[in-house]
Amino acid sequence: MSLLRTWSFRARYLAGFLVCAGLMAFALYAQYAMHLDPCPLCIFQRIAVCFMGLFFLVGGLHAPRRTAGRAVYAVLIALGGLWGIATAGRHLWLQSLSPDQVPACGPGLGYLFDAFPFTKMLKLAFTGSGECAKVEPILGIPMPGWTLFWFVVLIVWAFLAIRRSVR
């Protein structure tokens, strides 16, 4: 733990970016090597990870000296993480439904983007579909359970970097 206390804000944020990059690499591995096609909620979780990773990277490269500047990056990361937590939570809820309560499979996200205005598309995607209720455990935990865990860890990491960084 004493090693982490010597890390600078820049190093902590770049490490956060590497975690996000690793999460996206695993998502692509799961899609293309394990043949687990992402449902709309999975795609929204990927967007949240990319959003967080972007602000970890920009914050790490910028490395503002003032706490207020660092807090801006932490808040932006937290917004992405909260979006991810809401999406993963909804996804886990759909997966917990009994088979007779699972909604019917709907159109893909590409079609929703093409056919509906953005707010209607979001509503339809979050209503969920049968494909989102399929459970594919990784080490015994469903994929949205893992992403929920990482969203919480990364939000905490972003705010701890503000408080305990070396100047």
DSSP letter at 105?
P
The verdict on domain 2-98+132-163 having CATH code 1.25.40 is no
Q: Is 140 left (phi over 0), alpha (psi -120 to 50) or beta?
A: left
Strand extents, DSSP E, the chain: 137-138, 141-142
Summarize pLDDT for 18-61 with one digit per residue, the tens: 999 999 999 999 999 988 888 888 888 999 999 999 999 999 99
User: Domain locations in the chain?
Assistant: 2-98+132-163
Q: Are 128 and 103 in contact (CB under 8 A)?
A: yes
Least confident span in 67-71, 124-128, 151-155: 124-128
